[in-house]
Amino acid sequence: MKPEIYILVVEDEPEVLDSIVRDITEFEDYFTVEMADTAEEAESLIDEITGRDGKIGLILCDHVLPGKNGVELLVEMQKNEKTISTRKVLITGQAGLDETVKAVNEADLKHYIAKPWEKKDLVDITRKLLTDFVLEEVKDPLPFMQILDSERIAESLRTGRKITDQ
């Protein structure tokens, strides 16, 4: 059985949220996309998803949010055993150097995307990070070959390695 893996998008500006989701729509047949406009709403979704054994493969998170900010959310996810392996991406135009360093050092931030982004860059980053997640967390990555990095998945299956450094 294919595990249920989610992409969580956290953004408080509806137009930006819609744009991110539209740009990654090609992944929706394989990964459920959930949306939140605050860190608190994201935390509720995380509890709901992980409570039914779903996995959050990727979070695309804005920094400036009402209430708790995006970096704080990512740091908390890094401390939670159910979301420590989630690939974390900060999409923002307003995080300063201190917040970005905190996200890298304390949340294992995998990528920083500055607004405005290029769709191709967002899709490439999403594909790479979800490939990393699937190779590390899924016993049989074969069902994901059509949408993720098929060369890396084939290499992993051929060599019996769980993940490559490419």
98-135 pLDDT, tens digit each: 888 887 888 888 888 988 999 999 999 999 999 999 99
pLDDT of residue 3: 64
Burial of residue 81, with CB atoms counted within 10 A of its CB: 0-12 exposed, 13-18 middle, 19 or more buried: exposed
Domain at 5-159, CATH class: alpha beta
Question: Which residues of the chain fall short of a pLDDT of 70?
Answer: 1-3, 95, 161-166
Domain boundaries, the chain: 5-159
Q: What is the pLDDT of residue 78?
A: 95
- Buried b / exposed e along 5-31 (16+ C-beta atoms within 10 A): bbbbbbbbeeebbebbbebbeebeebb
pLDDT given at position 101? 81
> For residue 32, what pLDDT is reported?
97
Confidence at residue 154, expressed as pLDDT on a 0 to 100 scale: 94
Contacts of residue 133, Cβ cutoff 8 Å, sequence gap at least 6: 5, 55, 57, 58, 85, 86, 87
Q: What's the whole-model pTM score?
A: 0.91
- pLDDT score at 124: 97
